[in-house]
Amino acid sequence: MQIKKDSVVALNYEMFDAQNELLDKSETPMVYLHGGYDGIFPQVEEALHGKTVGDVVDVVMEPEFAFGEYDDSLIRNEPLDLFPKDIEVGMMFEADDDETGELMVFTVSAIEGGQVVLDGNHPLAGKTLRFKGTVAEVREATQDELDHGHAHDPNHDHHH
């Protein structure tokens, strides 16, 4: 079966940086609903269209098509005393965005001078990435999946 709109696709993937260093690899296939449901990078989805089980796609994505450009406005400095005593660089915290009120994830990028530097950018923002995927499975989406706009796992659990 070929991948087309409203197919559920299981994909084994590897993601590399511009120096061809492995950044991420699927332990189990990622499953998404194909056809513009925002379940996967648009350039990867486009490359997968029409493929079948066993086919491989290899897509290089500039930052704007992956995790976005790095945005300096997403850096915050907060007083150290607002954080747990065991805070360290690399920890992640959720906070509301001042402008949109949306929940954002911030990574502690530095602790200096009684201040904690928080970075709201995705860790891969500003990076050119290479996505290599192998199609593991293709099937028709169920009506329930189409209604929800995303694939469900085989025992039909899903989260919103």
Tens-place pLDDT, residues 112-158: 999 999 999 999 999 999 999 999 999 999 999 999 999 987 654 44
157 located within any domain:
no
Tens-place pLDDT, residues 7-57: 999 999 999 999 999 999 999 999 999 999 999 999 999 999 999 999 999
Tens-place pLDDT, residues 68-112: 999 999 999 999 999 999 999 999 999 887 778 888 899 999 999
Going by pLDDT thresholds of 50, 70 and 90, the confidence category of residue 159 is very low
CATH number at residue 33: 3.10.50.40
CA distance 149 to 6: 9
| Range(s) of the domain holding residue 139 | 7-67+125-148
For residue 118, the tally of other CB atoms under 10 A from its CB is 22
